[in-house]
């Protein structure tokens, strides 16, 4: 016995399937459509911000219809543990503590998603100590709870690597291994979102130091001082975050330019970098902090007006 399906019903089914496929395609991007503001918290590596610029440029070039504000409010020297070593900054000031400013940051920026990158300063460049480790864990748990309590999504980053060959402080690389392992364990233990940048950076450094002899006895490095990554290190950070967000197609991209699918990619990256440079100091100044020696940013409305002019130039490029 043959079963006939009415043409009208078949047509409806096909339309429904097509709509679903189009919906999936439209949402095939690193950030869901409800994400409008992405906040980056961290220390001097985040303040430097190249990995944030790389991520924004990637999204602008490859997903131009999704408008997201990427907010860098990293503060050099900062910890989430509240610790500071004796004589920090030649005794001029103790390390700033995120506890002092987080409420103001959240009230000012009102983010939908937070990336938090701490750990590098939290062991204060000393060998492993259970007491210091406990302070780090307490600080991260406090940060997580504060963000979640406001119904904001948070993705933790493992800390970048510390290179003892360049930075001294014997044993500190292992400290950051332990801090990273603990953060990664929270994915299973309490279902946190944790993106690993630590071990990909460590793997890259080890591989290149082993095979690249052109750097002499001091060896290849991602950070000339052992702490602050250069462009390659920042790209590894950006790439690992994008991979975590599902952008598998960039796995083999050697740098940010290679990941940008646009004929004006160089100019897009330049303009995004200009905008980030203006806005990070404006956000930092507007939120307030206790670290001396930082640039005084433009008043936020003035900075946002300049940023809007740059965004208009970017929009022209990507049409």
pTM of the model: 0.90
Pair of tokens at residue 255: 């740098």
Q: CA-CA distance, 264 to 248, in Å (whole number)?
A: 23
Confidence (pLDDT) at 25: 39
Question: Is the residue at 219 inside a domain?
Answer: yes
Question: Is the residue at 288 inside a domain?
Answer: yes
Q: What is the pLDDT of residues 285-299, one digit of tens each?
A: 999 999 999 999 999
Is the pLDDT assigned to residue 124 strictly greater than 90? yes
Domain carrying residue 177: 33-318
Q: What is the dihedral of CA 138, 143, 145, 151, to 10 degrees?
A: -170
Residue-wise burial string across 108-134, b where 16 or more C-beta atoms lie within 10 A, e elsewhere: bbebbbbbbbbbbbbbbbeeeeeebbe
81 CB-contact burial (10 Å; exposed 0-12 / middle 13-18 / buried 19+): buried
Confidence of residue 214 (pLDDT cuts 50, 70, 90): low
Pair of tokens at residue 108: 């000012």
**What is the DSSP-derived secondary structure letter of residue 88?**
G
Q: CA-CA distance, 251 to 268, in Å (whole number)?
A: 21
Q: CA-CA distance, 211 to 75, in Å (whole number)?
A: 35
Question: Is the residue at 8 inside a domain?
Answer: no
Question: Is the residue at 20 inside a domain?
Answer: no
Q: What is the pLDDT of residues 144-165, one digit of tens each?
A: 999 999 999 999 999 999 999 9
Alpha carbon separation from 225 to 44, 80, 95 (Å, rounded): 13, 22, 19
Question: Is the residue at 3 inside a domain?
Answer: no
> The CATH number of the domain where 246 resides is what?
3.40.50.1110
Confidence (pLDDT) at 319: 82
Helix (H) / strand (E) containing 102: helix 102-109
Question: Is the residue at 27 inside a domain?
Answer: no
- Percentage above 90 pLDDT, the chain: 85
Question: Is the residue at 24 inside a domain?
Answer: no
Q: What is the pLDDT of residues 87-111, one digit of tens each?
A: 899 999 999 999 999 999 999 999 9
Question: Is the residue at 309 inside a domain?
Answer: yes
Question: Cα–chain-centroid distance for residue 2?
Answer: 59
Q: Which of 38, 113, 106, 47 is nearest to 293 (CA)?
A: 47
Domain count for the chain: 1
Q: Got the DSSP string for 154-212? A: EEEEPPPP--HHHH--TTHHHHHHHHHHHHHHHHHHS--EEE--HHHHHHHHHHHHHH-
């Amino acid at each position: 016995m043959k079963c006939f399906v009415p043409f009208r019903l078949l047509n409806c089914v096909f339309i429904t399937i097509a709509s679903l496929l189009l919906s999936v395609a439209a949402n095939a991007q690193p950030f869901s459509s409800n994400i409008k503001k992405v906040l980056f918290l961290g220390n001097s590596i985040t303040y430097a911000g190249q990995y944030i610029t790389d991520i924004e440029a990637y999204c602008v070039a490859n997903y131009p219809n999704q408008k997201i504000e990427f907010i860098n409010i990293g503060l050099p020297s900062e910890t989430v543990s509240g610790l500071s070593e004796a004589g920090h900054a030649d005794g001029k000031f103790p390390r700033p503590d995120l506890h002092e400013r987080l409420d103001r940051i959240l009230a000012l920026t009102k983010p939908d998603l937070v990336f938090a990158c701490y750990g590098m300063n939290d062991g204060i460049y000393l060998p492993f100590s259970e007491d210091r480790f406990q302070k780090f864990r307490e600080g991260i748990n406090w940060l997580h709870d504060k963000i979640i309590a406001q119904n904001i999504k948070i993705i933790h980053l493992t800390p970048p690597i510390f290179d003892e060959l360049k930075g001294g402080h014997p044993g500190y690389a292992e400290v950051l291994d332990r801090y990273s392992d603990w953060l990664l364990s929270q994915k299973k233990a309490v279902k946190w979102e944790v993106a690993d940048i630590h071990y990909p950076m460590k793997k890259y450094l080890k591989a290149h130091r082993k095979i690249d002899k052109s750097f002499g006895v001091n060896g290849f490095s991602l950070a000339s001082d052992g702490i602050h990554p250069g462009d390659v290190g920042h790209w590894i950070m950006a790439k690992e975050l994008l991979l975590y967000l599902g952008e598998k197609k960039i796995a083999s991209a050697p740098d940010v330019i290679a990941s940008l699918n646009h004929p004006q990619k160089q100019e897009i990256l330049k303009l995004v970098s200009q905008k980030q440079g203006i806005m990070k100091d404006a956000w930092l100044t507007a939120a307030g902090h206790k670290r001396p020696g930082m640039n005084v940013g433009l008043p936020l409305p003035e900075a946002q007006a300049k940023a809007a002019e740059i965004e208009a130039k970017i929009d022209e490029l990507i049409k």
